[in-house]
Amino acid sequence: MTLTAIDWSIMLVYLAFVLGIGFVVKRFMRSSEDFFLAGRALPAWVCGLAFISANLGAQEVIGMAASGAKYGIATSHFYWVGAIPAMVFVGVFMMPFYYGSRARSVPEYLRLRFDEKTRAVNAFSFAVMTVFSSGVSMYAMAKLLQTLKLLDAPLAALGLRAAWAFHLSILASALIVLAYTFLGGLTSAIYNEVLQFFLIVAGFLPLVLLGLADTGGWTGLKAKLPEGMVHSWKGMAHASTNPLGVEWFGMVMGLGFVLSFGYWCTDFLVVQRAMAAHSVSAARRTPLIAALPKMFFPFLVILPGLIAVSLPAPKGSPVLVASDGASGATMGIIPPKFDDRGAPVLDRDGKIEFDYDLAIPQLLLHYLPHGLLGLGLTALLASFMSGMAGNVTAFNTVWTYDIYQSYIRPNASDEHYLRVGRMATVGGIGLSVAAAYVATRFNNIMDMLQLVFAFVNAPVFATFLLGMFWKRATGHGAFTGLVSGTLAAAAHHGLTLPAGAASGFKGGWLTVLHQYPSEMAQNFWTAIFAWSACFAVTIAVSLLTSPRPDSELVGLVYSLTAKPAEDDLPWFERPAPLGAIVLGLTAVLNVVFW
Amino acid sequence: MGLDIRIPIGAMFGTLGLLLTGYGVFADPVLNTRPLGVNVNLWWGLVLLAFGAGMLHFGRKRSA
């Protein structure tokens, strides 16, 4: 497909503003705190919108629409059971310790609360993970631009082969993100994330509105789709009666409690946005303000997936034979997956596989005329870049404060750390580019890394929960708990297998003791086992080791910290009422789409 | 912070709104009305223009 002048102009306007913000903000970067923590001076609504945007990378936009196309509205559990309750929890209960302890990062909180080794585990795994995920984000974007053949015409004009589209997209996205994070640090990243937030809404909202108008609204859409795709809770009683293949308990505990709380409450990528707020009450409001738009994001990112499969398939598209062999359902406007030689990819049963990741791009092409099409594609690029910049700014902070200053060169001047931070930005982006190329060559390595990260991440929430709310928890306890949790995750994965999968990366590499109905069910239960192991071992080891005196834990543990005074705030700025409103609205959404 | 983020946001959406509205008015109607028969560029351009103006207004009011 080709873009016209109006589409390119829209994209250029966006790029000009993104870089312009970097240049303007650079003037305010004087100390390392300005660079890494935005001087702790931003208003809550700015941090809140950045909080959403930083997470709104490739995996979110493309992945949620793909999941919507595959599983239907049940994908909203990732929001209405997963993200939102966790965001309320971190804002109301955890933020006072992150912000109040004056820790400059999440790993640094772990050092203050526990000890050096617990921080080291968290800092190193986090640093590797951020580089890896921004690399994957870059790879996904380059791959998408290549599939859509967006850059073919301009490349041909330059006399270059179409194969350069991949390299060009990686290079261009790396340079743009590098420019604005290098110049303006976290402030620039956060400001751009706010801009990107509005752009993503402005680009995708017309798509959803047109799609709904075309399919006859939610009622019309419901009539066109199978029953299982339009209910989020109906059928959750058993794994066999819902498209996700997981029962309600595994979903609520695994996804809702362990995985979502683990991500939203402890991942420095998002917590850093709240730490940049100007006061402790603004920091607490950050995730709550973020939760308000976040709960409506399923309409923006999941609904396009449903609309895409409900549309009549273009002539000549392949027909998917349903698992019962009866109906000849098509996948709407979603095209089949092709391998490198242009042949359709078949699954183990010989059926055609569909490229669900193309749900949003296909819908953009289907509904939007030139002009809005440019805006929609720019929104897609914005989401990729905000995800990447989020990772890069979190990486440079953890690298500089938690690794460089702690283990390589302590006691240097603040100017020195500011310089190191800028260098870490360049290094982080360089490593992400390397990761993106590794992803193109060695898919297995990426799958394996992803698996290892899942094992490392699964137990962390138990450590933070005990650290913040049980003063008896000790450093030795936390460390052995984390290690045991990771081992438990690996062991559980090695002993179980999702139905229909072969032993290997999907699990069962030790021996198969249990079969799960779906990969998602296996993931959720791996997380539950990891969390429980970490929780139990941390308690056991803590009771056997000597606790730290209460005086050292003031400001770090719930029972030893004064409740933040908020009497002078109007009710709508207090975390508890805000949190209650957010949870109430989320409950209503769950019921409406039951 | 010396820069109120609402000002660049307002300026960017104002520019994008002008581009889309202009295209919606002046380009061949066939290009604008695909596929549902509504001039979506014009209407969405006006929405963005209004949003941009609002952002600029509130951003400047606070800085002043």
| Contact assessment for residue A295 and residue A586, using Cβ atoms and an 8 Å cutoff | yes
Res A223: pLDDT: 81
Least confident of A28-42, A190-204, A208-222, A475-489: A28-42
Residue A316's pLDDT band, with cuts at 50, 70 and 90, is: low
Element (H, E) at B45: helix B40-63
Instruction: Give the residue among A56, A24, A389 at the shortest CA–CA distance from A190.
Output: A389
Question: Looking at the predicted structure, is the pLDDT value of residue A500 above 80?
Answer: no
Question: Looking at the predicted structure, is the pLDDT value of residue A325 above 80?
Answer: no
The amino acid at A79: Y
Q: What is the average pLDDT across A395-424?
A: 89
CB contact under 8 A, A213 and B36: yes
> At a CB cut-off of 8 Å and minimum separation 6, what does A146 contact?
A165, A166, A169
Res B18: pLDDT: 93
Long-range contacts of residues B31-40, Cβ cutoff 8 Å, at least 24 apart: B31/A369, B31/A370, B31/A371, B32/A369, B32/A371, B33/A369, B34/A369, B35/A214, B35/A366, B35/A367, B36/A210, B36/A213, B36/A214, B36/A367, B40/A206, B40/A210, B40/A368, B40/A369, B40/A372
Q: Does the beta carbon of B18 lie under 8 angstroms from any beta carbon of chain A?
A: no
Question: Looking at the predicted structure, is the pLDDT value of residue A132 above 60?
Answer: yes
- Give A8→chain B minimum CA distance, Å: 11
Question: Across chain A, what does the average pLDDT equal?
Answer: 84
Res A330: pLDDT: 57
A85-98 b/e with 16+ CB inside 10 Å = b?
A: bbbbbbbbbbbbbb
Res A326: pLDDT: 35
Q: What is the average pLDDT across A391-415?
A: 89
Percentage of residues in chain A having pLDDT higher than 90 = 18
The ipTM of this complex is 0.93
Res B53: pLDDT: 94
Residues of A within 8 A of B37 (CB-CB) are none
Residues of B within 8 A of A41 (CB-CB) are 1
| Contact assessment for residue A200 and residue A56, using Cβ atoms and an 8 Å cutoff | yes
Judged on CB neighbours under 10 Å (0-12, 13-18, 19+), A563 is exposed
DSSP for A283-296? HHHHHHHHHHHHTT
Q: What is the average pLDDT across A50-70?
A: 83
DSSP letter (8 states) at residue A406: I
Report residue A570 as tokens.
């109007």
Cα gap A535→A529, rounded to integer Å = 10
Element (H, E) at A530: helix A519-544
Biggest CA–CA distance in chain A, Å, is: 73
Res A101: pLDDT: 86
Residue among B3, B19, B32 whose CB faces A10 most closely: B19
Res A389: pLDDT: 87
Q: What is the average pLDDT across A554-564?
A: 81
Res B15: pLDDT: 94
Cα gap A190→A17, rounded to integer Å = 14
Question: Looking at the predicted structure, is the pLDDT value of residue A557 above 50?
Answer: yes
CB contact under 8 A, B1 and A213: no
Residue among B3, B15, B31 whose CB faces A369 most closely: B31
Res A201: pLDDT: 92
Res A145: pLDDT: 82
Residues of B within 8 A of A195 (CB-CB) are 5, 8-9, 12
Q: What is the average pLDDT across A165-180?
A: 88
The label of the residue with tokens 């695909």 reads B34
Q: What is the average pLDDT across A348-368?
A: 80
Res A348: pLDDT: 65
For residue B18, count other CB atoms closer than 10 A to its CB: 15
CB contact under 8 A, A194 and B32: no
Cα gap A106→A183, rounded to integer Å = 24
Res B2: pLDDT: 67
CB contact under 8 A, A28 and B51: no
Res A158: pLDDT: 79
Res A12: pLDDT: 93
Res A530: pLDDT: 92
Res A150: pLDDT: 78
| Contact assessment for residue A38 and residue A276, using Cβ atoms and an 8 Å cutoff | yes
Judged on CB neighbours under 10 Å (0-12, 13-18, 19+), B1 is middle
Cα gap A371→A3, rounded to integer Å = 9
SS3 (DSSP) at A440: helix
A141, A146, A151, A153: CA torsion to nearest 10: -170
- Give A332→chain B minimum CA distance, Å: 17
Spell out where A447-558 has E strands.
496-498, 514-516
Residue-wise pLDDT tens digits, B25-52:
887 777 766 667 788 888 999 999 999 9
Question: Looking at the predicted structure, is the pLDDT value of residue A350 above 70?
Answer: no
Share of chain A residues as helix, strand and coil, in percent rounded to the nearest 5: 75, 5, 25
Instruction: Give the residue among A389, A380, A357, A379 at the shortest CA–CA distance from A134.
Output: A389
Mutate to test the interface with B, among A4, A13, A364 (most CBs of B within 10 A): A13
Q: Does the beta carbon of B37 lie under 8 angstroms from any beta carbon of chain A?
A: no
Residue-wise pLDDT tens digits, A230-283:
887 887 777 777 777 778 877 888 888 888 888 888 888 889 889 888 888 888
What's the count of helices (H) and strands (E) in chain B, helices before strands?
3, 0
Cα gap A103→A109, rounded to integer Å = 5
First to last CA, chain A: 39
Percentage of residues in chain B having pLDDT higher than 90 = 44
| Contact assessment for residue A166 and residue A9, using Cβ atoms and an 8 Å cutoff | no
Nearest CA in chain B to A188: B5
Residues of A within 8 A of B16 (CB-CB) are 10, 13-14, 202, 375
Q: What is the average pLDDT across A500-516?
A: 80
More confident position, A518 or A345 = A518
The label of the residue with tokens 């920091």 reads A283
CB contact under 8 A, A187 and B33: no
CB contact under 8 A, A375 and B3: no
Residue pairs between chains A and B whose CB atoms are closer than 8 Å: 85
More confident position, A227 or A411 = A411
Residue among B3, B5, B36 whose CB faces A214 most closely: B36
Nearest CA in chain B to A20: B8
DSSP letter (8 states) at residue A345: P
First to last CA, chain B: 14
- Give A371→chain B minimum CA distance, Å: 6
Cα gap A495→A296, rounded to integer Å = 38
Residue-wise pLDDT tens digits, A515-531:
888 888 888 888 999 99
| Contact assessment for residue A497 and residue A522, using Cβ atoms and an 8 Å cutoff | yes
Q: What is the average pLDDT across A576-584?
A: 85
Return phi, psi of residue A496, to 5°.
-130, 165
Mutate to test the interface with B, among A1, A6, A19, A26 (most CBs of B within 10 A): A6
Cα gap A494→A511, rounded to integer Å = 7
Biggest CA–CA distance in chain B, Å, is: 47
Question: Looking at the predicted structure, is the pLDDT value of residue A1 above 70?
Answer: no
Question: Looking at the predicted structure, is the pLDDT value of residue A328 above 50?
Answer: no
- Give A17→chain B minimum CA distance, Å: 7
Handedness of CA A131, A132, A134, A138 (dihedral sign): positive
Percentage of residues in chain A having pLDDT higher than 70 = 95
